[in-house]
Structure 1
Amino acid sequence: MNLRRIAATIATSAALATVAAVSGAPAASAAEPACGDGDRIYAEYWTSTDEFGVAAERTWVDGTSYNTVQLRFNDESQCAWGSYEGGSTVGVYLEYEEDGAVFQVDRQADSTTAYTGVWSDANPRTMRACADDAGQIFCTDWF
């Protein structure tokens, strides 16, 4: 992603927040952002406005910690991202399959709460979210 695109993304988000604050309407009603591979700002935006569905979820218990990794999506934009919450410190990332090849993208630093940037899940891509918990890999089903 180039610096102009990052600046435009930040400016768009600031403009949406300003419109929402002035009008009293939620930011999501002002305009729907487009999906850009790896853009974390959109994952933040849709998470904060609850404008997402959960395509797949995987849970596991590590000792006494309950952990969940989710593949979330915004249907209007055809974007998906991975989300993790739990008691373990894990790295969360996405995998997508396209033309028979699997790619791992957007691994985030180990944390007890983390999410990836958004990635296009338009056909022919299928995606899943994964968490690396001390070398044990836990992934959602493909979506």
Structure 2
Amino acid sequence: RQQRKLSRKKKGSHNWYKQLLKVQKLYRRIKNIKKDIKRKGILSILRTNPQFITIENLNIKGMMRNKRLANSFQQIGLGYIVEWLKIKCRDYGIELRQVDRFYPSSRICSDCGHTQPMPLNQRTYHCNHCGMMKDRDINASINLKQATDYTVIV
């Protein structure tokens, strides 16, 4: 609403500048709320005192080229999350591991190690080898925890 009010004002007028300040304050507030949520989320993970945290080396620039996903990835701010995670892992003395972006974390069965293709529209991982069924993201996170081929960042 504030942005629409600004667009109706005559550019350069006194009222336009007053409205511009309102819009800037609003955007600053939204930015600070998002930053606070990210920081509190990372701190809640770190306060569980894990031995290590494993993340994937994601191609964020490549993801930003996808017009359907670009806005979502920009809103999340993955780059900021990774940088803040590095800083806090250094402060807390927690090892931060990074797995290669081509590591098939979603395609490996976390129970038996069997690899099978996993299309993006399929949200449940069903292993044809051992019959295990788990949510795709939970299975991938277990595989990242069990990963042996990684680089230590912090």
TM-score range for the pair, normalised by the shorter chain length: under 0.3
> What TM-score, normalized by structure 1, do the two folds share?
0.23
Higher helix share: 2
Higher alpha-carbon Rg = 2
> What TM-score, normalized by structure 2, do the two folds share?
0.22
Higher strand share: 1
